Amino acid sequence: MPITLLRVDERLIHGQVVVGWGERYHVNRIVVIDDDLEASGWEQELYRLGVPPRVEAVFLNVAAANAALPAWNAEPEPIFVLVRNVETLARLARDDLLDGIEVNLGGIHSAPGRHRVLPYLYLSDEEMRDLRQIADTGIVITARDVPASRAIPLAELTDRH
């Protein structure tokens, strides 16, 4: 089974991700793609504390993830991918390896230069531009904080930005 969800969430692994999204998709593996976190073993161990024992947590940098993406689509078990920011998502999308993968914008917080789009989603002009470029390749991007919420399409987010 291919990647079931690719979520942009600054907090990466936390309860809402593990319980809400992980259980919805019945994942046995969570892959976190983050260059800095991949290089920090002690931070990885902190994140692993929030993952149930039956779920494998894997930490990769963008280059390694891009190399692994084609093989993940042939995996028998669902894979849940997490990235911290839109920049990382854009780097993954550059090689057209995200075809058919649902992208969920889940938790991007307020920061200088960002505008409130939803209570849990703040985007800069550059991030919105990157998201539109990614969507122009055919990738479906929606925002949803929890699985029970309505998925809000990127076009609607653009109207709110």
Q: Per-residue pLDDT tens for 118-138?
A: 999 999 999 999 999 999 998
Output the pTM of the full model. 0.94
Q: How far is CA 47 from CA 27, 81, 105, 109, in A?
A: 16, 14, 20, 19
CA distance 108 to 105: 8
Where would I find the beta strands (DSSP E) of the chain? Answer: 3-9, 29-33, 56-60, 79-83, 103-107, 114-118, 121-124, 141-143, 152-153
Under the banding of pLDDT at 50, 70 and 90, the label for residue 2 is confident
Assigned CATH for 3-160: 3.40.35.10
